[in-house]
């Protein structure tokens, strides 16, 4: 069984992610500012450090960021649209941490035939790649609340999730989401037909 580093130990709010993104786009992103943002999320030096690591990885260290910077005006417009924001933020999450991508892809497979998916099922499927350990539980408890806040899923009841279909998004937002897919699937190119993949179940 292949085991891959999970990486994420702290969730961040989308408000903080947006402020960090805007700082990058305005060329005002500094370690001091990111630490300031971290302290709005948590207290304590250790927790703040972990939070800064997440902010960094989702913005300045992300492989998606060059595309976002290149399309700055489109991204700023996406931030003004609720439906576009959701695709943008999830694309940023999935480009930074493979566990976000894998979770969405697994949910997409299940939601194609069922309306609900359980925490137990998702953890079982994710453990096939990441191993069954405490770090997977910690990461999962970061991933799911962020996807809920992004409007991709809702918690129907304790430990059970339902999909929220995404609609009314622009082509520019879809392109960012496509880019996040390609960053997780290096064997595909932009010329390939990729919408049939389970990762796109949420936007069909």
Task: Transcribe 89-116 into DSSP letters.
Answer: HHHHHHHH-HHHHHHHHHHHHHHTT-SE
pLDDT band at 158 (very low <50, low <70, confident <90, very high): very high
Alpha carbon distance 74, 201 (integer Å): 24
Task: Give yes or no for a contact between 99 and 186, defined as CB atoms under 8 angstroms apart.
Answer: no
Q: What is the pTM of this model?
A: 0.93
List pLDDT tens digits, range 82-132.
999 999 999 999 999 999 999 999 999 999 999 999 999 999 999 999 988
Identify the pLDDT of residue 7.
Answer: 85
Does the structure show a pLDDT above 90 at 195?
A: no
Is the distance from CB of 40 to CB of 64 less than 8 angstroms? no
The predicted model gives 168-185 an average pLDDT of 95
Interval 19-24 mean pLDDT? 97
Return the pLDDT at 43: 84
Mean pLDDT in residue range 53-81: 97
The residue with tokens 């992103």 is: 29
Compute the mean pLDDT over every residue in the chain, rounded to the nearest whole number.
93
Alpha-carbon span 193 to 157, nearest angstrom: 35
If pLDDT is split at 50, 70 and 90, which confidence band does 193 have?
Answer: low
Q: What's the pLDDT at 103? A: 97
Q: CA-to-CA distance for 126 and 131, rounded, in angstroms?
A: 8
Please tell me which residue, 99 or 189, carries the higher pLDDT value: 99
Angle between helices 119-130 and 134-149 (to 10 degrees): 120
pLDDT by residue (tens digit) across 125-157?
A: 999 999 888 899 999 999 999 999 999 999 999
CA distance 202 to 204: 6
Residue 1: the pLDDT is 40
184, 147 contact by CB (below 8 A): no
Position 5 scores a pLDDT of 75
């Amino acid at each position: 069984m292949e085991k891959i580093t999970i990486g994420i130990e702290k969730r961040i709010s989308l408000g903080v992610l947006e402020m960090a993104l805007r700082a990058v786009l305005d060329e005002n992103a500094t370690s001091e500012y990111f630490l300031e943002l971290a302290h709005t999320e948590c207290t304590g030096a250790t927790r703040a450090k972990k939070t800064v690591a997440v902010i960094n990885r989702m913005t300045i260290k992300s492989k998606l960021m060059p595309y976002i910077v290149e399309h700055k005006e489109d991204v700023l417009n996406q931030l003004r649209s609720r439906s576009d924001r959701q695709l943008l933020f999830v694309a940023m999450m999935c480009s930074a941490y493979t566990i976000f991508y894998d979770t969405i892809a697994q949910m997409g497979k299940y939601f194609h035939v069922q309306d609900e998916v359980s925490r137990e099922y998702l953890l079982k499927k994710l453990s096939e790649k990441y191993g069954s350990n405490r770090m997977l539980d910690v990461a999962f408890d970061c991933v799911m609340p962020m996807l809920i806040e992004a409007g991709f899923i809702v918690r129907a009841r304790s430990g059970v999730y339902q999909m929220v279909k995404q609609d009314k998004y622009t082509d520019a937002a879809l392109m960012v989401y496509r880019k996040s897919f390609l960053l997780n699937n290096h064997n595909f190119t932009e010329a390939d037909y990729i919408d049939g993949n389970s990762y796109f179940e949420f936007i069909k």
